[in-house]
Structure 1
Amino acid sequence: MRLPAALRPAVLLCLAALGLAACASQAARTAPVEETPIYVLNLYGDENGRSDQRPPALVLSEFSTVSGMSWQSWGPGRAVGVGRLSGTWCLPRCQNHPYNATVTLSNVVPYRGDGYFTRYAVKAHLPPAERKTADLKGALPAPQDE
């Protein structure tokens, strides 16, 4: 079927517009999404805390700390790392021989355009007596306006 000459420019214009719309739609799907930076408020060596990413040591609670951390993943919804767990619940023995542990950070909350992990969970092989008193899950501090 052949289009009348008077309609050809309009049809070509429509086809070009459809092509541009398809290209724009494809570009929107493949454009990188800007991710929110994710931090943890780390009290290790700083009682006021500092915004930290993939810290080598992290205070989990007033009773537990992990050190020698190696992070396998960091954000956007969780972070997972391995390190050495110690705390007041295992002193004095674990001071020189901390436990191997896997730490998972989760529950990101927004603060001034950034995200902060606010929960932690620890997996470690502990003696039964220490497992009962160890701080293996809980809340992390988050920054707040004063």
Structure 2
Amino acid sequence: MKRTSTPRRHRTAIAAALACAAAFGTVATATGAQAAAPQHTAKAETPYVINHYGEENADKGKAERSPANLVLSEFTSAQALHWKQWDAKKAVATGKVTGAWCLDTCLDKPLKATVTLSDPKTVHGKKVYSSFTVKLAGGNGAYDSEDLKGKQPLATS
């Protein structure tokens, strides 16, 4: 067995480590460049909804897709949403709705409804839905609320 001097072994180990680092750097740079390239997928073009649900989002809102709970207006919110559609034109969910307009009857027992988000527009560089409609399962006639009368504006910031 041939003996190698300690300095030579160190130089060999350092050279091997540098070669590995250079190879890793090349892979990392290629991966980073690929990640930085614009992604043209349907998901990137799909709008968000600005959601003010929850204490942490009450003031500024949060851009979300398919949230389980959603503030529709200052008077109406939706919970337990099951999204059936979320695309470039509209989003449709079934769930439960409560509002200031039904506190006596729906505070403890939210009403079944279909919520539709529509009219996407670009705000601060993000595509967001700007309108909503609510259709109660039993019909909207029992409640006199603006939020239940056709298309209504949705917070966009």
Q: Same fold (TM over 0.5)?
A: yes
Instruction: Give me the whole-angstrom Cα distance separating, in 2, the residues matched to 1:134 and 1:126.
Output: 14
Q: Alpha-carbon deviations, 1:86-110, whole Å to 9, x = none?
A: 1010012201111110011000001
Given candidates 134, 138, 141, the residue that maps to 2:152 is: 138
More strand as a share of residues: 1
Aligned-pair CA distance for 1:59: 0.5
Contact 1:109-1:118 within 8 A present in 2 as well: yes
User: Could you tell me how far 1:123 is from its partner in structure 2?
Assistant: 0.8
Contact 1:99 1:126 survives alignment (8 Å): no
* CA distance, structure 1, for counterparts of residue 77 and residue 139 of structure 2: 15
Equivalent position SS for 2:48: strand
Aligned residue number for residue 43 of structure 1: 52
Distance (Å, rounded) in 2 between the aligned partners of 1:142 and 1:127: 25
State the number of aligned residues: 111
Q: From the two aligned structures, give the one with the greater helix fraction.
A: 2
| Contact persistence 1:89–1:134 (CA under 8 A) | no
Pick one of 51, 57, 74 that aligns with 2:69: 57
Query: CA–CA distance in 2 between the matches of 1:134 and 1:59?
Result: 15
1:93 to 2:93 alignment = no
Partner residue of 1:34?
41
How far has the Cα of 1:126 moved from its partner? 4.6
Unaligned runs of 5+ in 2: 1-38
Residues 1:84 and 2:96 aligned together? yes
Give TM-score scaled by structure 1 length. 0.69
Q: Matched residues in 2 for 1:39 and 1:77: separation?
A: 11
TM-score, normalised to structure 2, is 0.65
Please report the RMSD computed on the Cα atoms of aligned residues, expressed in angstroms. 1.9
Q: Which runs of 5+ in 1 are unaligned?
A: 1-31
